[in-house]
Amino acid sequence: MTTDGHGTVTLVNAMAAALLPQVVPGTPLIGCNVPALATAARDGAGSFETAHLGRRLRGVRRDLAGGRHAWYVRDVTEERARTDSLLAERARTAFLARAGSRLGTSLHREQTLRTVATLGVPYLADLAVVVHRLPSPAEDVPHWVRYADGDASPSTGVAPATLVRTVPGLADALDGDPTDPSPWRDAELADLAALLPGDFGCPGTVLVSPMPSAGRPAGALILVRAAGRPGFDRRDIELAREFAARAGAALGAAELYGEQAHLARVLQNSLLPPELPAVPGVCLAGGYRAAGDSLRIGGDFYDVLPTGGGAMFALGDVCGKGVGAAVLTGRVRQSLQTLRLVEQQPLGLIRLLNRALFDTPDAVRRSQFTTLLLGTLTVEPDGAVRARIAGGGHPSPLVVRPDGTVVPVQVGGMPVGALTDARFAETEVRLAPGELLLAYTDGVTEARGGPREVEMFGERRLHRALASAAGLPPAALVDRLLQLVDEWLDGQGHDDIAMLAVRPAETA
């Protein structure tokens, strides 16, 4: 298509005539019925692009001699459609990647529900509602989490009992079956009053998608577009289904994590060292550090069980670390609590424990054993405490006297659960008022740190620390030792640590 120096069309070829039937020779280009082309001619622009008669046209101007111009116009409808499709696909991929990243870092169930509701707005819809049921089988009432474009944060609530059966497609989605999008009908709006904010206005199109999880649906995702927004096309539906599937998987993972966290707390409560009981005439204090396991449980343990005339105590170090060692720790402690009902003497009790551990199937024991100090505490009339201690291959306990003298109490013996014919030893020590007995695991002396980060804390350093802390109450002495070991480690990994301090109670 060409124009003369006055802007009058002089030539229109067949292709230009097909694309621009309104432009004919002899008419001014500025006054044609194609606004974008007329504006470009008037302003002297070098190009234009417009939608015309259902097609997308793009034109460029080339200057000719004598002030004439040539306009080259071509149909870019398919090209533009491919570009738009590519951009839309990139946007969908980016949305799913962002959603996957957000959902993958959410391990709390309530946080996951809120994340699902907020992620879909405004990209997928103007409002999103997640309908779900609580994990507890005792409550079957549906709950919801809602987020609308412009809200500061998601809101939550309990759905009416009639909601599931009255909202079209919701019951199917909660059962795991997909439903097709559909416009709202006035009769259905009343059933959704609990889900839609009062200022949302009349909904346009709704898509209800199941949120599948492992073994069962995790809930349903309701996406609502306002009346003025286009409805869901095929690609929108596919994207919403994929997002809902990822959301269901994330919610299922969060629920599984919650169950495991609950089990972990129960495990911790049963395996962590217990709160020490009050024993008349005796002051007790315990200290514990796990080897860095995320559950804060390990293979070192202590326990104190009151008896008629005093108390029985145990302190041990199970072979291994983490959950596996903690399981054997729990078995040892439970066995001691049971066996003490038939045997109260430390040497006899440690022998029974050795036999009990060998009665456990090898597949469960995995060749694990424990070192152990097992003793009884008896308060004498003058306030002293007599300790009878049986040993099973454990480091010797230490007596700390008021003047700072530190004396090992040699016990000996072989590890418990290592050999069926293991031999154990027993000794007795008397704690005068002011003296303190410390039982500890080798995690204290073998803690590696210091200036070179490889030197062990060692027995000599432990003796000096106890000597400097002589006269402190048991709790203060244990805290002081744990502080010194922590400073020595300076954040490095370490073995499990347990210690138990015993001292005669001060009399008025």
Residues contacting 463, CB < 8 A, separation 6+: 398, 406
- How many whole angstroms separate alpha carbon 409 and alpha carbon 388? 11
Query: Residue 363's pLDDT is what?
Result: 39
What is 273-504's CATH superfamily? PPM-type phosphatase domain (3.60.40.10)
Find tokens 């019925």 and name the residue: 33
d(Cα 395, Cα 397) in Å, to the nearest integer? 6
Could you tell me if 191 and 166 are in contact, meaning their C-beta atoms sit under 8 angstroms apart?
Answer: yes
Beta carbons of 167 and 208 less than 8 angstroms apart: yes
Distance from C-alpha of 207 to C-alpha of 236, rounded to nearest angstrom: 10
∠ Cα 322 323 327 (to 5°): 125
Task: Please say whether the beta carbons of 392 and 370 come within 8 A.
Answer: yes
| Cβ contact 431:399 at 8 Å | yes
Nearest CA among 251, 376, 249 for reference residue 309? 376
Please report the pLDDT score of residue 364 as a whole number. 45
- Buried b / exposed e along 147-184 (16+ C-beta atoms within 10 A): bbeeeeebeeeebeeebbeebebbbebbeeebbebeeb
Residue carrying the six token digits 């819809």: 125
The domain locations on the chain are 2-75, 94-264, 273-504
Cα–Cα dist 18/25, whole Å: 14
Q: How far is C-alpha 34 from the geometric centre of its chain's CA atoms?
A: 60
Tokens of 495: 């073995």
Q: How far apart are CA 277 and CA 214, in angstroms?
A: 45
CATH-assigned architecture of domain 94-264: 2-Layer Sandwich (3.30)
Half-sphere exposure of 457 (CA within 13 A, CB side): 25
Nearest 5°: CA angle at 502, between 501 and 505? 135
Tokens of residue 252, six digits: 């299922």
Average pLDDT across each block of 10 residues of the chain; the chain has 508 residues. List them in order.
90 91 90 89 91 91 92 90 83 88 85 92 92 73 89 88 76 76 55 72 82 81 87 89 91 85 71 84 92 64 88 90 74 89 93 87 61 95 95 95 95 92 95 96 91 88 95 94 92 85 84
CB atoms within 10 A of CB 22: 12
User: Which tokens is 261 given?
Assistant: 């966290």
Domain 94-264 and domain 273-504, same fold? Reply is no
* pTM of this prediction exceeds 0.75: no
Backbone φ/ψ region at 76: left (φ over 0), alpha (ψ -120 to 50), beta: alpha
Q: Where are the alpha helices (DSSP H) in 360-455?
A: 362-365, 442-445
Res 181: pLDDT: 58
SS3 of residue 122 by DSSP = coil
Provide the residue count of the chain. 508
3-state SS assignment for residue 373: strand
**Residue-level pLDDT at 33:** 86
